[in-house]
């Protein structure tokens, strides 16, 4: 899961980033409105954590940009105690949740997990798709009740596919989801084929179906109707 953290307090932003990385998330930072605006218009995220009071603009405008772009990202506002009106405005224009500073990072993590479950997996604590069962809290994957051992990138790819089942995903969108900002440093997308080949093999070896279809010239689709 890829998260954008929009926060001008550098120490707090880095603290959130370090904590969430340990929880298995891919995180990107934006310390200003300008940088956050650039990112939400270039990249896709599963969740955006946004501070309302930025030095060069309002986080409310970031929320508006996400909605204008028809983003599927969950949005969590983090704001000062005296910003009640801004929090209400944020919720009215499309934010999903808010936290008042100071807050415990464990609570933020719980809010993120709950939000992603609601938006992508109907609020379930388990992700179940045919013979596939995933426990996101423990990063466990089972095929026909047999545990599947995946690398971090393979796990993230499977979650991304299941969040977008039956949709065609371009190689660019998959690479961006797995590598975030670092995708611009890649020479090619050949690594995607390698990860998909390994994921397919591991699933089939446990008796699972090969749901991943290659859409030549475009990318891949996780077709659960085969």
Residue-wise pLDDT tens digits, 136-162 = 878 899 999 999 999 989 999 999 999
What is the C-alpha separation between 77 and 62, in angstroms, rounded?
11
This prediction's pTM: 0.75
Q: How many helices and strands, by DSSP H and E, does the chain display?
A: 8, 14
- Whether the pLDDT of residue 39 is over 90: the answer is yes
Least-confidence region, from 25-39, 123-137, 192-206: 123-137
The residue that leads in pLDDT, 9 or 178, is 9
Q: Are strands 47-51 and 2-6 parallel, antiparallel or unpaired?
A: parallel
pLDDT digits (tens, 9 = 90+) for 66-81: 999 988 899 999 987 6
pLDDT of residue 85: 80
pLDDT of residue 175: 87
- Whether the pLDDT of residue 37 is over 80: the answer is yes
> Can you tell me the mean pLDDT for 200-212?
94
**Of 137, 138, 177, which Cα lies nearest the Cα of 160?**
177
Per-residue confidence band for 117, with pLDDT thresholds at 50, 70 and 90: confident
Q: Are strands 132-135 and 140-143 parallel, antiparallel or unpaired?
A: antiparallel
Helices (H), 99-151: 105-121
For residue 192, the surrounding DSSP H or E stretch is helix 190-205
Inter-residue contact 225 to 209 (CB < 8 Å)? no
> Can you tell me the mean pLDDT for 102-109?
92
pLDDT of residue 136: 83
pLDDT of residue 41: 93
């Amino acid at each position: 899961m890829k998260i954008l953290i929009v926060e001008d307090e550098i120490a707090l932003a880095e603290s959130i980033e370090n904590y969430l990385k340990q929880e298995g998330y891919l995180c990107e930072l934006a310390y200003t409105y300008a940088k956050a605006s650039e990112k939400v218009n270039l990249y896709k995220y599963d969740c955006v954590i946004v501070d309302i009071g930025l030095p060069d603009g309002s986080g409310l405008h970031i929320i508006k940009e996400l909605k204008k772009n028809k983003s599927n990202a969950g949005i969590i506002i983090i704001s000062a105690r005296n910003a009640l009106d801004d929090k209400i405005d944020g919720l009215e224009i499309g934010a999903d949740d808010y936290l008042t500073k100071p807050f415990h990072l464990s609570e933020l993590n719980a809010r993120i997990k709950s939000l992603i479950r609601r938006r992508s997996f109907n609020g379930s604590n388990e992700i179940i798709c045919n013979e596939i069962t995933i426990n996101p809290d423990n990063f466990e994957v089972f095929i026909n009740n047999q545990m599947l051992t995946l690398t971090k990138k393979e796990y993230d790819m499977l979650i991304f596919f299941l969040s977008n089942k039956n949709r065609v995903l371009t190689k660019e969108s998959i690479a961006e989801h797995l590598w975030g900002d670092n995708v611009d440093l890649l020479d090619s997308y050949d690594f995607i084929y390698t990860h998909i080949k390994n994921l397919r093999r591991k699933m089939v070896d446990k008796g699972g179906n090969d749901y991943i279809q290659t859409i030549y010239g475009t990318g891949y689709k996780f077709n659960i109707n085969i």
